Structure 1
Amino acid sequence: MKIRKFVLFDMETKIALKSKTINSKTYYMKYQGVLKKMMTENATEIQYYLDMRADFLNMNQLLNKEISLSFVSYECLNCYSDKEIYRQGYCKSCFFDAPNAGDWIMRPELSTAHLDKEDRDLAYEKSVQLQPHIVYLANSGNVKVGVTRETQVPTRWIDQGAHEAIEIVAVPNRYLAGITEVALKKHVGDKTNWRKMLKNEIEEVSLVEWRERLKEYIPEEAASYFIENSTVTNLNFPVIKYPEKPKSLNIIKTPSYKGVLVGIKGQYLIFEDQTVFNVRSNEGLVVSLEL
């Protein structure tokens, strides 16, 4: 699909371009598409983009605007059927069969492509697992260890809502990153507290000191890949107001929601009434968005 990217110069211009006036009433355009995680661009302030099939929306320019979200149907990200989404944007059969939903995705220590051993599709697994990977520390309210492909830095940190992060090791495959993460998470957390992250409750720590403290626990196979001089990356999210008591929107149980967008952090949309909506955890849902 060819993506058409447009920039909203201001909301008045946007409405003039995408609305119609009939009998003195203005009807605003609706966008409809299957949810996938928002694309991001690391700038002075992180830019967020939502692919709504024919349109590519810059979500930053919707801040302080009222938007409506409505659930329409399901669409599996793998087979494109309208079966109910089971997990990670996939229907149940695809979740258990598709190579891009293997257990090694969430548990990189289970990777076997470096042994020439297939899980579901060896060619696919080699294309992903046999890439340079980074083990990192991120602070999104609490310090955690994580793994990502080198090409996903800093995207992975943005998706987790981390305001700062630092690389620990750079290894040639996913397996080595996985066993390093398993070893280090005995001494530091590996989960993001989403409520703490959204409330912007920042734990003041030194990631450099944490990196040095964890060095001795890196497995022997990965010890030579330790990054001696890595520096902290700081990230700035577009948030006007953080929620004090974030409440998660379930768009299936509440199929229609309207609110004023006041922030975006991680993969969450934050609304003025303290409702938050995790775009990534709702992948595979077809929604309409009205401005």
Structure 2
Amino acid sequence: MNYEGVLTKMQTENGSPIQYYLVFENDFLHMNQLLDKKVSINFLRYQCLNCSLQKKIYRQGYCYDCFFEIPQAADWIINPEMSKAHLGMEDRDLAYEEKVQIQPHVVYLANSSSVKVGVTRKTQIPTRWIDQGAHEAIEIVEVPNRYLAGITEVALKDHVSDKTNWRTMLKNEIKDEDLVEWRNKLKQFIPTEAAEYYLENNAETNLQFPVLKYPEKPKSLNLEKNPFYEGILKGIKGQYLMFEDQTVFNIRGNEGYVVSITVN
């Protein structure tokens, strides 16, 4: 079977294990059903996720011009402490920023390669944890806007990492942590403005990924250097496809690439 479309991050359903779907404009693949099958990926061209033009992708699936113009790629996306919509202050598009920023956000701990702190909209739980390849996670605070979540994350970053080591995550070289204990330990560092939103009675969430075999020495597939690849799919974790020959392919990192995928 052959499928063609522009890559966007895989959609997921939490389960035992998590279910993954690669969605194209006119088709979709249930990726769990491809495990242990030969899959080929052929890079055809670029297509910006915003303007749909055939322009080289710069970051996050967008061409250079769109990345520096649209609100979906503004600095507050990566640095939520820079959010200003709650003050009525516009960055690129106040209507969009109010819609996204002024809604419940969660600061959480997730264990992907080690314990890290992160921020997401409440509606993105547990999707955000799945996308990061976290096998366990827990909420710390639930606040009414993105700014409060951002300043809380900044304060906690002095005491816990905010990065994921993708190689460690994919090799599954991780240990279970007591995230309730971590949450309680970090409570004292929550900023005063967010302290009332601390969550103290919740339990950690555990996630199970569809993996038959983890790579020992993962090597990342670069479609620009190697526009055609073929291998046996052995697992899916985070937004990565993992193949028998140790090759791993980051779907999220290749958004905006138009590919054809063949399954044998």
Q: Give the TM bin, normalised by the shorter chain.
A: over 0.9
1:58 is aligned to 2:30: yes
For residue 71 of structure 1, give the secondary structure of its aligned residue in structure 2: strand
Residue identity matched to 1:71 = F
Helix, strand or coil at the partner of 2:68: helix
| TM-score when normalising by structure 2 | 0.99
Task: Tell me which amino acid in the other structure corresponds to 2:80.
Answer: P
In structure 2, the residue matched to 1:263 is: 235
- State how many pairs are aligned: 263
Q: Determine what percentage of the aligned residue pairs are the same residue.
A: 70
Letter in 1 for 2:186: L
Which runs of 5 or more structure 2 residues have no equivalent in the other structure? none
**1:249 matched residue in structure 2:** 221
Q: Distance in 2 between matches of 1:204 and 1:280?
A: 26
| 2:68 is the counterpart of 1:99 | no
Partner Cα separation in structure 2 for residue 204 and residue 277 of structure 1: 26
In structure 2, the partner of 1:198 is 170
Q: Which residue of 1 aligns with 2:204?
A: 232
Residue type matched to 1:112 in 2?
Answer: K
1:71 counterpart = 2:43: yes
Give the Å deviation of 1:59: 0.1
Structure 1 residue runs without a partner (length 5+): 1-28
Whether 1:280 and 2:224 are equivalent positions in the alignment is: no
Report SS of the residue matched to 2:209. Answer: coil
Runs of 4+, deviation exceeding 6 Å? none
Paired residue for 2:5?
Answer: 33
Q: Structure 1 residue 205: deviation in Å?
A: 1.8
Q: 1:90 aligns with which of 50, 62, 65?
A: 62
Residue 222, structure 1, aligned to residue 194, structure 2: yes
**Correspondent of 2:107 among 113, 117, 135:** 135
The superposition leaves residues 255-277 of structure 1 with CA deviations (integer Å, 9 ceiling, x where unpaired) of: 00000000000000000000000
Equivalence for 1:161: 133
Output the CA distance in 1 between the equivalents of 2:165 and 2:59.
20
AA at the equivalent of 1:277: F
Per the alignment, residue 124 of structure 1 pairs with: 96
2:80 to 92, 102, 108: 108
One-letter amino acid of the structure 2 residue matched with residue 236 of structure 1: Q
**Structure 1 residues 223-282: Cα deviation after superposition (integer angstroms, max 9, x where no partner):** 000001011000000000000000000011100000000000000000000000000000
Cα offset, 1:52, TM superposition: 2.2
Could you tell me how far apart the structure 2 residues matched to 1:232 and 1:101 are?
31
For the residues of structure 2 that align with 1:280 and 1:226, how far apart are their CA atoms? 31
Q: Which has the higher contact order (CA 8 A, sep 6+)?
A: 2
Q: Compute the displacement of 1:141 (Å).
A: 2.1
One-letter amino acid of the counterpart of residue 89, structure 1: G
Query: Partners in 2 of 1:140 and 1:100 — Cα distance?
Result: 25
2: CA distance, partners of 1:273 / 1:215: 44
Matching residue's letter, 1:138: A
- Could you say what secondary structure the match of 1:221 adopts? helix
State the Cα RMSD in Å.
0.6
The Cα of 1:158 is off from its aligned counterpart by 0.1
Q: Answer with 1 or 2: which has the greater Rg.
A: 1
